[in-house]
Structure 1
Amino acid sequence: MKKILLPALVVAGLSLLPIISHAQGCVAIRQFSGLGNAVGQGNILEKGEWNISANYRYFKSFRHFRGTHEEPNRIEDGTEVINRQHGLDINISYAFSERVYGIVSLPFQYNDRSSLYENGWTERHTTYSMGFGDMRLGAGYWLLSGEKAKKGNTAIGLGVKFPTGDYAATSTFYNQGDEGMAEVKTVDQSIQLGDGGTGIILDFQGLWNIGSTNFWYYDGFYLLNPRETNGTPTNRRRPNEAIMSVPDQFALRTGVFRSFEKIHGLGVSMGVRLEGIPVRDLVGGSQGFRRPGYIISVEPGISYMKGNVTGTLNVPIALWRNRTQSVTDIENSQAGDTVHGDAAFADYLISFSLAWRIPKKAPQLFNSL
């Protein structure tokens, strides 16, 4: 069992790299992933071993939803907002023991947003943001060890998200004001590099053999952001939406992974995932502007391991999208008509990862002369 299980765990562990990136559209502030999913091969690292991984993600959001109702007229009329987001996470994990690991995640982003309404409704222009995102630092603990972990294991993790990303990034907007001048303003919340809050990350991940070379995997995280607002102007008209919120975020994945004995190192997976932003935070207030909602996707993937290096490609495809009513939507609805903001979602996301497991070097033995 060990000869079959360990190589499969290596490949399967790499399929659990940080592809929970948020959230395929302007529901999320920016792309984000939980710490546990960046561990990669951390599930079988021995004491003193390292794992270094790079995860690239891309999506294009353009389909507008209000609740679960899509508004196809936005595309037909040419008034849709188009977000293109590129994210690169550099993840470094270290095994302090068979069961305890630490990890640091360094995120980099390039985002652009093409919009008509933000440029006076006369011409479509693009705004940009680029740079370092919100760094994450944390640790995890595998619940089983030794013989008990031969069939699988589950890890729980705790981390901190630091507000290292620019949460007041600016770009040039055109046709502003009565004179139609160009002005430098803060970009939309969806392409800000950070949220301005120090957050607590609770996460978990697990992998279990369910027969032959088939494995059940699961992972998820919840980001608690106690800070209510970050002081960054949204350039929106309603007073209660003038400043950006610092919302919680969450994600959950599960599925089946299969490795192939005849093609050593090859594995495929199929799963589902849920990700989004809640209407109200678990800790702290929920005022300010946010686009809450969630997306459910089917997630096929393929991975290949060669030696200590593994590449993984996952392409989550959207099945269900819902832009829920925000706190400010609910407040603004009390004055009369129902207010329900929209959000743009992507059809799919591309996630590609490379991971390098660095085994612990054996001690050198010298014969005495």
Structure 2
Amino acid sequence: MLGTALFLWQQSVKAQGCVAIRSTGTVCMKPQAEMEKGWQMNMSYRYFRSFRHFVGTEEQKERLEKHTEVINWQHTLDLSLVRTLNNRWSLAVNVPVLANTRSSLYEHGGNNSKSPDARQKTHSFGIGDIRFAVYRWLLNPARSTKGNIQAGLGLKLPTGDYRFQDYFVKNDSTKILGPVDQSIQLGDGGTGFTTELNGYYNFSKRFSVYGSFYYLFNPREQNGVSTARGGTVSASAIQYGTAVMSVPDQYMVRLGANYSMEHLTVSAGLRRECVPAKDLIGGSSGFRRPGYVVSVEPGLSYRFEHLALFATVPVALKRDRTQSYADKLQTQATGVYRQGDAAFADYSVNIGMSFHF
């Protein structure tokens, strides 16, 4: 019973380093499509530390050597409630709570500063963007006992503070209050809608495969929040449309397999999380760091009668900070190829529980 419902809370508001990827898969247990009516409460925690800078797929190792790297720490608690109406229809709501910290030189004293206090931190804490979703198994669970496909449609509300501010320390006597970096904002400022497909197939009682696809459409082009961190917007940022933050689309794909031994399930898979350079609906101007992460995702889950526990540790195989819409505009205008950088994590840690009542 619990395995199927875990499909319903795979996507939640998160980030992956400086690339503000706000969707992730937490766990995918071997599911049973025969669900009882009732409620299910889910809690999951995610942690990562991003610090490796990439331009395209090439790591900028000199950033670590010169100690100019940007470091993001993120702690996320996702609270989800699922209401199963019958064996085909379910409703879900997801409320994320985020605690972010960002350490850098360039936002404060500057990368070239010799002061021991040049590196400073900014923070953000609060509720992120809440999402409501409805799900339906496309095949009749009573007949499709080996496998099934679940479709989902959702609404993401801009409940997270996308204008969150903190102080940027310029020197011993000067602090400037301004919006924190896009990567640690609590929301993106857009009302979006989500589409999902989740599927599984049981080859035997022990072995099964799973797959899921999630896409967040964000029609709003920009949220109006300055990228100048409390300072003056540069002429270049105005010219190429990066003076304010964009509201980007994002998507995730997961594929993998499960092996079950009584109450214990071992899983292994691949997943790709991405912020595209261009949105499918609406414009694409504004500041964003597009890119993607391909990870291998091992996991464990243990199921009791009404309770399931899980842990997954996605480990990055490939990180790519792709060319943004603004980068392309600047390249076209100047004739000089432009591509920005972004920091990525080596891995993330996900742990959680699911309780049916």
- Residue 238 (structure 2) pairs with residue 258 (structure 1): no
Does the Cα contact within 8 Å between 1:163 and 1:198 map onto a contact in 2? yes
CA-based RMSD = 2.3
The one of 90, 100, 114 equivalent to 2:79 is 90
Specify the code of the residue in structure 2 equivalent to 1:72: K
Look up the equivalent residue of 2:74 and give its one-letter code.
Q
State whether structure 2 residue 281 is matched by structure 1 residue 283: yes
Alpha carbons of 1:341 and 1:180: their partners in 2 closer, same or farther (altered >3 Å)? farther
Partner of 2:48: 59
Change (3 A) 1:217 1:21: farther
Q: What fraction of aligned residue pairs are identical, expressed as a percent?
A: 44
1:28 corresponds to: 20
Q: Name the aligned partner's letter for residue 196 of structure 2.
A: D
For residues 27 and 13 of structure 2, the distance between their equivalents in structure 1, rounded to whole angstroms, comes to 10
The 1:43/1:102 distance shift into structure 2, 3 A limit, reads farther
Verify the 8 A CA contact 1:14 1:312 in the aligned structure 2: no
> Residue in 1 aligned with 2:298?
300
Alignment of 1:178-217 (within 5 A): 181-217=174-210
Is 1:110 aligned to residue 82 of structure 2?
Answer: no
- Which residue is 2:328 aligned to? 330
- Show CA shifts across 1:158-197 (max 9, x none): 0000000000100110117xx9611111000000000000
Residue 46 of structure 2 is aligned to residue 45 of structure 1: no
How far residue 44 of structure 1 moved from its aligned partner, in angstroms, is 3.7
Give the aligned partner of residue 247 of structure 1.
248
User: Do the aligned residues in 1 keep the contact of 2:271 with 2:296 (CA within 8 Å)?
Assistant: yes
Structure 1: gaps spanning 5 or more residues: 1-5, 359-369
Alignment partners' CA distance in 2, 1:312 and 1:126: 32
- Identify unmatched segments of 5+ residues in structure 2: none
What TM-score comes out, normalization by structure 1 length?
A: 0.87
1:161 aligns with 2:152: no
Task: Give 1:50 shift.
Answer: 1.2
**CA separation in 2, counterparts of 1:96 and 1:120?**
56
Distance 1:213 1:42 in 2: 13
- The amino acid of 1:25's aligned partner reads G
The 1:337–1:146 alpha-carbon spacing in structure 2 relative to 1, beyond 3 Å, is closer
Aligned length: 342
Residue type of the alignment partner of 1:160: L
Q: In 1, are the aligned partners of 2:8 and 2:135 still within 8 Å (CA)?
A: no
1: distance between equivalents of 2:175 and 2:140? 61
* Residue identity opposite 1:105 in structure 2: N
- Considering only CA atoms, is the larger Rg found in Structure 1 or Structure 2? 1
CA distance in 2, matches of 1:290, 1:11: 36
SS of structure 2 residue aligned to 1:88: strand
Contact 1:68-1:323 at 8 Å conserved across structures: yes
User: Do the aligned partners of residues 42 and 193 (structure 1) sit closer, same or farther apart at CA in structure 2, a change above 3 Å counting?
Assistant: farther
Superimposed CA distance per residue, residues 64-113 of structure 1 (whole angstroms, 9 cap, x where no aligned partner) = 00001100110110000000011111111111121011001011100000
Considering fraction of residues, name the structure with more helix.
1
Q: Are residue 125 (structure 1) and residue 124 (structure 2) matched?
A: no
CA-CA distance at 1:297 after TM superposition: 0.3
CA contact (8 A) 2:4 2:33 kept: no
Residues 153 and 193 in structure 2, CA contact (< 8 A), matched pair in contact too: yes
1:262-318 per-position Cα deviation (integer Å, ceiling 9, x unaligned): xx3111000000011011000000000000010100000001112210110000000
Question: Cα deviation per residue 1:117-172 (whole Å; 9 max; x = unaligned)?
Answer: 00031310000000000000010110122432210211000000000000010011
State how far apart, in whole Å, the 2-side matches of 1:110 and 1:127 are. 11
Q: In the superposition, relative to structure 1, how do residues 42 and 191 fare at CA in structure 2: closer, same or farther (>3 Å)?
A: farther
- Distance, in Å, in 2 between the alignment partners of 1:40 and 1:96 is 21
Taking a change above 3 Å as real, the CA distance of residues 164 and 16 of structure 1, as seen in their structure-2 partners, is closer
SS of residue paired to 1:226: coil
CA distance in 2, matches of 1:100, 1:16: 11
2:257 is the alignment partner of 1:268 = no
Task: Tell me how far apart the structure 2 counterparts of residues 340 and 223 of structure 1 sit (CA, whole Å).
Answer: 24
Rounded to whole Å, the distance in 2 between the matches of 1:198 and 1:17 is 19
Deviations 1:203-262 (CA, angstroms, capped at 9, x unpaired): 1111210234111011120000000000000116321211000000100101001110xx
2:107 match: secondary structure = helix
The C-alpha deviation readout for 1:26-68, integer Å capped at 9, x for no partner, is 1116x4348x98999794422x311110011111000000001
**Worse-matched range after superposition: 225-234 or 18-27:** 18-27
| Matching residue of 1:136 | 131
Give, in whole Å, the separation in 1 of the partners of 2:281 and 2:74.
29
Rounded to whole Å, the distance in 2 between the matches of 1:32 and 1:167 is: 16
> Which amino acid is the alignment partner of residue 340 of structure 2?
G
- Where 1:279 maps in the other structure, the secondary structure is coil
State whether residues 8 and 82 of structure 2, in contact with CA within 8 Å, keep that contact through their aligned partners in structure 1: no
| Residue of structure 2 equivalent to 1:364 | none
> After the TM superposition, which of the residue ranges 278-287 and 205-214 deviates more from structure 2?
205-214
For structure 1, which segment, 203-212 or 286-295, has the greater mean C-alpha deviation from structure 2 after superposition?
A: 203-212
Structure 2 partner of 1:348? 347
How far apart, in 1, do the equivalents of 2:89 and 2:29 lie? 11
